[in-house]
Structure 1
Amino acid sequence: MDRTVRTVEDVLALLDGLFTRQGGRWTTGDGADFWDRFYADRSRPVPFFAAKPDESLAAYLDRGLIAPGRALDLGCGPGRNALFLASRGFEVDAVDLAPAALAWAEDRAHEAGADVRFVCGDAFRLADTELTGPYDLVVDSGCLHHLPPHRRISYLALLDRVLAPGGHLALTCFAAGAMGSELSDADLYRVRQLQGGLAYTPESLRRIFSDLTEVELRRMRDEPPESALFGEAFLWTALFRRDAEAASG
């Protein structure tokens, strides 16, 4: 007889199992094995394998919407955004589940002479001593849309814990009608698969991040292959701010 549920985290872990047993491609727990294999072959023609930052992130800096400070790259992959931020004066912590991704990111950082602190693990289970916030900027380019619905609770709790008052969340995720599964949250638990990632609408993002202030939400610009920036039109880009008054209240 299994009677192990005592806390909210116990419930979330129980729900995790619905997806991991079905080979869900998500970004916590057993998903590490999938992502480690995904990043093992660096020659694969995957658009976000290129060492280019998100065009939206570059635009936020160029327009003065964000300024250098302490940054956390959540699900950093091969480190393209982390290295860009470091080059623009940020103190960067970058976390990912996959050792293969971090090994690649560390190689890139060494080649570029960039000072980035890489952390291997599940960001939602790492201690304060490992993700040493507060951070002025949290960057998520492709993490949220690989999470099962119940892990949005963990995601928001992480933001509440590490995002500084006045700090920003820079988010990139699948756009409904262009990329990703459009099944309802309830139906995802019936099929027990994330189907490659979840699509979001602007309304759903605004609801999820309703405790933050929207600065900008738009489709990502489609960047040509020769561009120094990464951009795909099937993605949303969003910048949200944690208001100092709300954080202190």
Structure 2
Amino acid sequence: MTDRDPERPIDRLVAGALEAGEPTGWFEPLYAAAREGEADVPWDHGAPRPRLVEWTQERAPRGEGRRAVVVGCGLGSDAEFVAGLGFDTVAFDIAPSAVRGARDRHPDSPVRYVVADLLAPPPDWAQAFDLVVESLTVQSLPDPPRAQAIASVAGLIAPGGTLVVVASARDAADGPVAGPPWPLTRAEVDAFATGGVQAVEIRELRDDAPAGHRWWRAEFLRPAA
């Protein structure tokens, strides 16, 4: 089990939120502190996730104005990439400061950045998107409410639509971690295949290094009606 570092702003925020029983309560304080230059958002590298880019290079998904949603969009790098593929893109985050930051960073963007909660998404988003991108958001949640978040992501996929998941990987036998992140086990990745959604491909990948970071990159489909 890894330990949190009380000297890191993110770890202090996470510990406080979990103690208060608010597992998503640390996102807004983190992004607000980042806007003031008082903290770093560790997953923001100003570019789309390489594993997402690789998936699009292999699959060449058709945008053509079809609808896409980016889950937990943060400051918008993945959302801008998806919109650049021709998708009519919605991107959401639970943190208002993240959404403001994304709009500030991409002032001329066609992406619609909105504040929304993955655990209670707008009803009209149910099975509404031809492409759903979930990159590193579910792994930022403990369980609970992780299982609820997984089901909610799957519920966004339209008939005939695709979900791509990018997440850090771990073995269940490794035991608990303090997080965040809380890397996903294979069983947790498999759990996105729910409510009629089917797994197309689940890959475990490793960064180019002798002890490189382990990743899941998974694709799911909701069959057309």
Q: Which residue of 2 aligns with 1:5?
A: none
- In the TM superposition, what is the alpha-carbon distance from 1:57 to its structure 2 partner? 2.0
Does structure 2 retain, via aligned residues, the 8 Å contact 1:215–1:239? Answer: yes
Mapped to 2, the partners of 1:153 and 1:201 lie a distance apart of: 12
Q: Which residue of 2 aligns with 1:72?
A: 69
1:127-166 paired onto structure 2 within 5 Å: 127-129=122-124, 131=125, 134-159=128-153, 161-166=155-160
Residues 32 and 201 of structure 1, relative CA distance in 2, 3 Å threshold: closer
- In the TM superposition, what is the alpha-carbon distance from 1:139 to its structure 2 partner? 0.9
Equivalent position to 2:200, from 203, 215, 221? 215
Q: Which residue of 2 aligns with 1:9?
A: none
Residues 166 and 22 of structure 1, relative CA distance in 2, 3 Å threshold: same
CA RMSD of aligned residues (A): 3.3
Q: Which residue of 1 aligns with 2:54?
A: 59
What TM-score do you get using the length of structure 1 for normalisation? 0.67
Percent identity of paired positions between Structure 1 and Structure 2: 28
- SS of equivalent to 1:140: strand
1:1-249 paired onto structure 2 within 5 Å: 20-22=17-19, 26=23, 28=24, 30-37=25-32, 39-40=34-35, 48-64=43-59, 66-68=61-63, 69-110=66-107, 113-129=108-124, 131=125, 134-159=128-153, 161-176=155-170, 182-183=175-176, 195-206=179-190, 208-211=191-194, 212-220=197-205, 222=207, 233-244=213-224, 248=225
Bigger proportion of residues as helix: 1
Residues 150 and 25 of structure 1, relative CA distance in 2, 3 Å threshold: closer
- SS of equivalent to 1:122: coil
Q: Deviations over 1:4-26 (max 9, x none)?
A: xxxxxxxxxxxxxxx94516784
Residues 73 and 182 of structure 1, relative CA distance in 2, 3 Å threshold: farther
Mapped to 1, the partners of 2:208 and 2:77 lie a distance apart of: 15
Q: Deviations over 1:74-128 (max 9, x none)?
A: 1000000001111111111111011221122112221xx3201111131322323
- In the TM superposition, what is the alpha-carbon distance from 1:153 to its structure 2 partner? 4.4
Gaps of 5+ in 2: 1-15
Does structure 2 retain, via aligned residues, the 8 Å contact 1:169–1:240? Answer: yes
Larger relative contact order (CA 8 Å, sep ≥ 6): 1
What TM-score do you get using the length of structure 2 for normalisation? 0.74
